[in-house]
Amino acid sequence: MNWLPMTVTVMGLGAIAIALPAQAEAPGIYYSWRSLEIDMDQCLVRSQAALAGSALTDIVVDGNNVSGRSETATALFICLENAVDTTIMLTIASNDDESALLLREALKQAF
């Protein structure tokens, strides 16, 4: 019995398995920020309203963060209170670049 062909076949299949890994597309991340003369509570309330008004669901408030999701995107507001104003950071993650940019602009306007 000759083992060489089987060894080559097994080794060849292993090389194919290594050469063809599963590929997942990483989401695009888009962000924007601005500072306003509002306090933390106002920032959180406005963030929730913007997410709800843009048809995002699963809205969660966690400390200084407010997040929501759609079928294609996740949006996150982060409120950073400073001595005089509050910095609002908005981040959108999505596999659909065009809809992510549209959502970002809609949330900026709604805020």
Taking the CA atoms of residue 46, residue 33, residue 67 and residue 61 in that order, the dihedral angle to the nearest 10 degrees is -60
Encode pLDDT of 87-104 as tens digits.
999 999 999 999 999 999
pTM of the model: 0.76
pLDDT digits (tens, 9 = 90+) for 70-81: 999 999 999 999
Domains, the chain: 27-110 (3.30.310.50)
The residue type of 27 is: P
User: Is the separation of the CB atoms in 78 and 65 below 8 Å?
Assistant: yes
